């Protein structure tokens, strides 16, 4: 029974490690390009030249990507630590259940090798209290 409980906890923790997580993602290249173009147009309207607008737009893209990278990395590290904790608990539960099963097998193996006596005693009672004993 304890082994079944340990196995159930193991399954619970493994499923917990595989689900219930939200991961952050970096933007796709087309979104980065749109962000760059919008910044380029903005700086162009502010009166900067072509070269200066490109440099400023690239600086803004770099800042934006750096902040997203930091945010996503922090979130992924946190999620991965939770996942590792669940996997550790699952490993402990599996180890516990295997130890219980091995212990039970060690306790019951001698009973598997004991041979029972094939001799059966039958007592037949006849009238007048005569007893006959047979061995089969």
pTM of the predicted structure, to 2 decimals: 0.56
Residues 6+ apart with CB under 8 A from 72: 24, 25, 26
pLDDT by residue for the chain (136 residues), tens digit each?
Answer: 777 787 888 888 888 877 877 777 889 999 999 999 999 999 999 999 999 999 999 999 999 999 999 999 998 898 889 889 988 988 888 888 888 888 888 887 776 666 666 666 666 666 555 555 555 5
| CA angle, residues 71, 74, 76, in degrees to nearest 5 | 105
Give the domain ranges of the chain: 2-112
């Amino acid at each position: 029974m304890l082994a079944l409980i340990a196995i159930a906890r193991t399954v619970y923790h493994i499923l917990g490690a595989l689900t219930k997580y939200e991961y952050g993602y970096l933007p796709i290249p087309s979104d980065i390009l749109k962000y760059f173009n919008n910044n380029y147009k903005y700086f162009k309207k502010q009166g900067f030249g072509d070269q200066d607008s490109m440099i400023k737009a690239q600086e803004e893209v770099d800042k934006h990507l750096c902040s997203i990278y930091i945010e996503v990395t922090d979130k992924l590290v946190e999620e991965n630590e939770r996942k590792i904790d669940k996997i550790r608990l699952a490993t402990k539960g599996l180890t516990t259940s295997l130890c219980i099963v091995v212990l039970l097998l060690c306790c019951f193996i001698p009973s598997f090798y004991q041979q029972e006596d094939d001799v059966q005693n039958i007592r037949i009672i006849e009238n007048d209290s005569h007893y006959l004993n047979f061995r089969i």
